[in-house]
Copies of this chain bind each other. A is one copy, B any other.
Amino acid sequence: MRVELMRNILEDNTTAAHKNTKQYEDNGVLALDLLGSPGSGKTSVLERVISHLSPTGLRIKVIEGDVASANDAERIEAAGAEAFQINTGGACHLHAGMVSRAMKTLRMNEIDILLIENVGNLVCPTAFPLGAHARVVVASVPEGDDKPEKYPEAFRQGGVIILNKMDLLQHMDFDVDRFWQRVRELAPAAECFEISCTTGAGIHELCEWIQMMRRQVRDG
């Protein structure tokens, strides 16, 4: 019975995720969802991307998923993008239905890029695809170079994998080659970026990739 119940939950999620994907396609919206540990810097990445891309005229909106607090939505709005805060009230991940409801408020026909930040968690969100074009996994140098081995499913799902907080590398025992080697074993086709949200290093390259993806989605 437990198996049956879990199957129902996952099937409901898949159905909702497919509906989300269709809405993105119908509106020419590029949707990316961000996954990472608490404190890996997901919100900081969004702040940097919004600041970098807003002057280009691209219309960006954000869905923020958190167990509690509206801290992240406030940070996003301060960076200049409309944000919808989902508080899961204890739940450890977003599911696709939560995203569908937030999308109604955010009006998909007024958006070029939708960025979805999941609850800080490298495990549970992997079971719940949200229907976006790619999962963006945000790892960070202080977490250690062994995270791909310890949380393989998250990295396996990464269409984009970002190594953040590169400015701290000089203070840490972190083997960059080891990290990327394990990433490539899990996600050989992933786009990979090394960035620092503190210094801004690598943000330009990340944003170029996002713009290219956005053009592909728009042009079908």
Residues on A lying within 8 angstroms of B by beta carbon are 1-2, 5, 37-39, 66-69, 71-72, 90-92, 119-124, 140, 142-144, 146-147, 149-153, 165, 167-168, 171
Bound complex: CA A38 to CA B149 (Å): 12
Bound complex: CA A121 to CA B37 (Å): 8
Q: Find out whether the CB atom of A39 lies under 8 angstroms from the CB atom of B2.
A: no
Q: Which of B1, B67, B90, B92 is within 8 Å of A5, CB to CB?
A: B1
Q: Find out whether the CB atom of A147 lies under 8 angstroms from the CB atom of B67.
A: no
Min distance, Cβ A75 to any Cβ of chain B, angstroms:
10
Smallest CB-CB separation from A127: which chain B residue? B90
Copies of this chain held together in the complex: 2
Bound complex: CA A146 to CA B168 (Å): 20
Q: Which of B69, B123, B152 is within 8 Å of A92, CB to CB?
A: B123
Residues of B within 8 A of A144 (CB): 39
Q: Which of B5, B91, B150 is within 8 Å of A68, CB to CB?
A: B150
Residues of B within 8 A of A121 (CB): 92, 121-124
Residues of B within 8 A of A153 (CB): 67, 90
Q: Which of B67, B142, B147, B149 is within 8 Å of A168, CB to CB?
A: B142
